[in-house]
Structures are given as structure tokens and as C-alpha cells.
């Protein structure tokens, strides 16, 4: 009887152990189950998810989502599951402010990624700051958002809850001016902007530097952001004798503007900032856009091994929209929030404290990690310490990197 029991027990144990082992091996391929309990932390996302700029906004949303999923898969913050709550601001400041209020009202939200537009950010900053809710923009480049309206002469931080991973137009505009004047040998520029915070600001920093270098501004114009017919301005550009057009604004207008300028007989490049650095610009501008230029934040993807991993993971995740110009910066923005939450949880014995929002905001100032776009950390104004820029040119129907620079001042 004893021998029989031993055999039966051995068999049962072996079967049990092997069953468990086999089950464990299969479950491991899916990674950790993100919904295994504990605390759920929501990362809000605000971006234009519909309308003309949705190509950029959807890339922001998906990239932040990828960061949350990656953190869950890695069980990066023990006991915490991250989820995304994305809201559509339609690139409108009023919608952005409503979204900010709604995100503040949701107590699970401990950080927000976004927005895309500097003008939208202006309407959201105070709402978040009053609630001590941290905001990390992957795309705002207006210098005043961090350094105050008098940033040229006296930098003053505006909100302790506002951070950004993208560099600013205080660098982007002059970088474009230096490239056009020195490398592309352009001396006469026609400057156009869309009167918005981003576009007018970028055109301003470009113009200042281009003049300092000795270049001539042969004409200036402002367009209505809703307009699509620029034939009158195109004719004016042609008459001005400009050898380049600089446009402060975004691709929905920049594309048709470029096309109509060429159609008017001015075979000169249109140059813009990160707001036109999207494949949609090339589609809208047509075949004559070859030679048009854009500066954009960051180094080219192919020069960053970490970005290659991001591109592969984004593809594997199956998002139907491109990650677009700000994908890497959006992933890093979300990951910065995840790092800050981790710091707060670790410092509080593995649990979120009652005043988690304020603590996460405070922790953000000292966040530092190797992200998709390089080293991610913030200076005393909440600006990214990593300030890289790249000039891209339209070649064979796509954007191709021409030259990169790093601001080290």
C-alpha cells in the first residue's frame, strides 16, 4: 500500500509541476498581465485627434499609449498599471482648456502628455498648475511657455507643472536662419506666418537671426489659418525677387502655399519648422516641393539606436496611424511621467501617497533617463536639456536629413 501511494503521489506531483511549468512558459510570451490589480494610474493625452493636424495628434496619442503598455508589460512600477485617457483638442485653445478641466477632475490622472500646439498650451497651463497636475508636452516650441513673454531679455519660469521634451523656437528659428544663410547661401527671404503663437513666434526668431547674419527680408505677409487660396501672396513672392520663402505655421497651409508659389513661377524653396515636417506636407505641395526644407526637433531616427527600437515596437503594436514628427518625444514625455510616478511610489513604501499629483510634479524636475530621443531631463525652466535639431529636405517624395545640430549653450 505504501509503495502504491508513493507512486501515485509522485505521479501527481510530476503532473502538477509539469502542467504549471508548461502553463508558465506559454503565459510568458505575452508578458505581464497589465490588468492584474493594484493601482491604476491614468496618463492623460491632449492633442488634435481630428481635423487637419490629426496626423501629428494621433502619433502623439499612440506613442504615449505605447509607453504605458511597455511600462505595464515590464511591470516597471510595481503595483501600478498605467492607462491612457486621450482627449481631442482639435487644435483649438478653448477645447484644450475644456480637456484640461476634465483631466483635472479625474483623480486617477497623475500626468498629461500634450498638447501639440503652443497656442493650445497657453490655455491649459494654468488649469493644470492650479491642480498641481504635471504636463509634459512633446511638441510645444514657443519659448514663452517656459521662459515667459520677455524670454529674449529676462527668462522667468511660468509654471512649475509644465515641462516639454521638444526644444524651443528660440533655437529652431535661428538654426534655420544659419543653415539658409551659410549653407544654402540664401540671402533674400520672404517671410510668411499664420499669426498663431507657434507660427508667428517661429517666424520672429528666424527673422531676427537672418537679419543679424546679413540677410535681407524682401517681404512679409500673414495668412489666415483657415485659408487655402494663397495666389495673391504667391504673386507677391514672385515679384519680390526672394530666393527663399520662410513660413511660420503648419503643414495644412504650408503644402498648398508651396504649391501655389511654385505655380506662380517662383521656383524657390519654401522652408518651415517642425510644424511642416510631416509627409502630408509633401502630398499637399506636390512634386514641385522637391528642395523644400524643414527643421525639426531631434536627431534623425536612423542615428539613434533607441529610436530604432521605438520604431520597431510601434510597428509591432499595430497602430494604424504613423508615429509622425513627435512620436519619439511623446513616448519620452509619457515615460517621464512614468519615471516620476515610480520615484513617488518608491519613496512612499510602494504605494501612491495622498498628494500624489504634487509629488509627481515635484519629482519631474529631477527625472533623468535614456529615452527614445536621447537623454531626457529638464532644466530650471522645464525645458528639455537635450536640444538637437535637424534640417530635412524633400527628396524623391520624402523628407531626408540634411544636417543636424546640437545646442550646448
Partner 1 sequence: MGPVEPGEGTRAWDTPDPDAPADTPPRQLPRDGRPERHRRAVLAATAAVLLLAGGGYLYATRPHQLPRPAPEPAPPPYPSQVVDVAYLEPAPAQSGAAPRSFGLTVLVSVTAGPPVTVTRITQPYAGLVLTPEPRPPLRIAAGTARKIVVTMRVTECGKVPENAGLPFLDVTLRNTRAIEVHSYILGSRYAHALSDGLHVACGNDFR
Residue 406 binds to partner 1 (criterion: CB under 8 A) = yes
Residue 312 binds to partner 1 (criterion: CB under 8 A) = no
CA distance 115 to 333: 11
Query: Least distance to partner 1 from the beta carbon of 304, Å?
Result: 7
CA distance 85 to 304: 29
Residue 208 binds to partner 1 (criterion: CB under 8 A) = yes
Which residue blocks in 51-187 are alpha helix, DSSP H?
54-74, 93-105, 118-130, 144-147, 169-178
Residue with Cβ nearer partner 1 (287 or 312) = 312
Residue 2 binds to partner 1 (criterion: CB under 8 A) = no
Residue with Cβ nearer partner 1 (11 or 227) = 11
Query: Least distance to partner 1 from the beta carbon of 294, Å?
Result: 16
* The binder of partner 1 chosen from 77, 304, 345, 367 (CB under 8 A): 304
Residue 25 binds to partner 1 (criterion: CB under 8 A) = yes
In b/e form, how buried is each residue of 119-139, taking b as 16+ CB within 10 angstroms? bbbbbbbebbbebbbbbbbbb
Residue with Cβ nearer partner 1 (31 or 241) = 31
Query: Least distance to partner 1 from the beta carbon of 248, Å?
Result: 17
By CB under 8 A, which span of 12-20, 60-68, 97-105, 121-129 interacts with partner 1? Answer: 12-20
Q: DSSP labels for 298-334?
A: S--GGG-HHHHHHHHHHHHHT-SS---TTHHHHHHHH
Residue 248 binds to partner 1 (criterion: CB under 8 A) = no
Residue 316 binds to partner 1 (criterion: CB under 8 A) = no
Residue 293 binds to partner 1 (criterion: CB under 8 A) = no
By CB under 8 A, which span of 34-42, 131-139, 228-236, 298-306 interacts with partner 1? Answer: 298-306
* The binder of partner 1 chosen from 118, 292, 303, 330 (CB under 8 A): 303
Report the relative pairing of strands 39-47 and 80-88 from DSSP bridges. Answer: parallel
Asked if 123 contacts 101 with a C-beta cutoff of 8 angstroms, the reply is no
Residue with Cβ nearer partner 1 (171 or 360) = 171
Asked if 281 contacts 294 with a C-beta cutoff of 8 angstroms, the reply is yes
Using CB under 8 A, which residues numbered 341 to 400 contact partner 1? 374, 387
CB-CB neighbours of 13 under 10 Å: 10
Q: Which phi and psi (to 5°) does residue 317 adopt?
A: -70, -15
Residue with Cβ nearer partner 1 (123 or 386) = 386
Query: Least distance to partner 1 from the beta carbon of 387, Å?
Result: 8
Burial group, residue 315, by CB count within 10 angstroms (0-12, 13-18, 19+): exposed
Residue 189 binds to partner 1 (criterion: CB under 8 A) = no
Residue with Cβ nearer partner 1 (253 or 373) = 373
Task: Kindly compute the dihedral angle of the four CA atoms of residues 142, 145, 149, 154, in this order, to the nearest 10 degrees.
Answer: -100
# of chain residues touching partner 1 (CB under 8 A):
41
Asked if 249 contacts 199 with a C-beta cutoff of 8 angstroms, the reply is yes
Instruction: Classify 278 as helix, strand or coil.
Output: coil
Using CB under 8 A, which residues numbered 124 to 183 contact partner 1? 171, 174-175, 178, 182-183
Which residue blocks in 319-382 are alpha helix, DSSP H?
327-347, 356-364
Using CB under 8 A, which residues numbered 26 to 55 contact partner 1? 26, 28-29
Query: Least distance to partner 1 from the beta carbon of 316, Å?
Result: 17
CA distance 195 to 80: 43
193 pairs with which residues across the strands? 222, 248
Q: Binding residues for partner 1, per CB under 8 A?
A: 3-4, 7-8, 10-11, 14-15, 17-19, 21-22, 25-26, 28-29, 171, 174-175, 178, 182-183, 208-209, 212-214, 299, 303-305, 374, 387, 403-409
Amino acid at each position: 500500500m505504501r509503495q502504491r501511494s508513493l507512486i501515485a503521489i509522485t505521479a501527481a506531483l510530476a503532473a502538477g509541476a509539469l502542467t504549471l511549468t508548461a502553463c508558465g512558459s506559454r503565459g510568458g510570451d505575452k508578458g505581464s498581465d497589465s490588468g492584474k490589480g493594484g493601482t491604476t494610474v491614468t496618463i492623460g493625452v491632449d492633442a488634435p485627434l481630428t481635423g487637419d493636424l490629426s496626423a501629428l495628434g494621433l502619433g502623439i496619442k499612440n506613442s504615449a499609449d505605447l509607453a504605458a503598455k511597455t511600462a505595464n508589460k515590464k511591470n516597471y512600477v510595481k503595483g501600478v498599471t498605467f492607462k491612457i485617457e486621450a482627449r481631442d483638442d482639435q487644435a483649438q485653445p478653448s477645447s484644450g482648456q475644456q480637456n484640461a478641466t476634465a483631466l483635472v477632475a479625474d483623480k486617477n490622472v497623475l500626468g498629461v502628455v500634450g498638447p501639440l500646439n503652443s497656442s493650445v498650451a497657453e490655455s491649459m497651463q494654468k488649469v493644470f498648475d492650479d491642480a498641481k497636475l504635471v504636463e509634459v508636452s512633446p511638441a510645444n516650441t514657443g519659448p514663452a511657455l517656459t521662459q515667459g513673454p520677455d524670454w529674449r531679455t529676462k527668462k522667468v519660469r511660468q509654471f512649475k507643472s509644465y515641462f516639454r521634451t521638444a526644444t524651443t523656437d528660440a533655437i529652431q528659428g535661428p538654426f534655420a536662419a544659419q543653415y539658409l544663410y551659410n549653407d544654402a547661401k540664401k540671402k533674400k527671404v520672404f517671410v510668411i506666418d499664420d499669426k498663431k503663437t507657434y507660427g508667428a513666434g517661429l517666424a520672429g526668431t528666424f527673422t531676427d537671426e537672418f537679419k543679424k547674419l546679413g540677410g535681407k527680408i524682401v517681404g512679409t505677409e500673414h495668412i489666415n489659418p483657415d485659408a487655402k487660396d494663397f495666389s495673391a501672396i504667391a504673386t507677391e513672392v514672385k515679384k519680390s525677387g526672394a530666393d527663399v520663402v520662410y513660413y511660420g505655421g503648419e503643414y495644412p497651409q504650408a503644402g498648398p502655399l508651396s504649391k501655389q508659389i511654385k505655380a506662380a513661377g517662383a521656383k524657390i524653396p519654401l522652408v518651415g519648422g517642425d510644424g511642416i515636417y510631416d509627409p502630408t506636407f509633401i502630398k499637399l505641395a506636390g512634386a514641385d516641393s522637391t528642395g523644400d526644407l524643414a527643421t525639426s526637433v531631434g536627431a534623425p531616427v536612423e542615428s539613434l539606436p533607441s529610436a530604432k527600437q521605438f520604431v520597431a515596437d510601434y510597428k509591432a503594436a499595430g497602430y494604424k496611424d504613423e508615429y509622425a514628427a513627435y512620436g519619439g518625444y511623446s513616448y519620452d514625455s509619457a515615460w517621464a511621467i512614468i519615471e516620476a510616478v515610480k520615484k513617488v511610489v518608491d519613496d512612499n513604501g510602494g504605494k501612491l501617497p495622498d498628494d500624489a499629483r504634487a509629488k509627481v510634479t515635484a519629482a519631474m524636475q529631477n527625472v533623468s533617463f535614456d529615452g527614445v530621443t536621447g537623454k531626457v531631463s529638464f532644466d530650471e525652466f522645464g525645458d528639455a536639456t537635450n536640444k538637437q535639431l535637424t534640417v530635412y529636405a524633400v527628396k524623391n517624395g520624402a523628407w531626408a536629413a540634411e544636417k543636424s545640430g546640437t545646442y550646448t549653450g
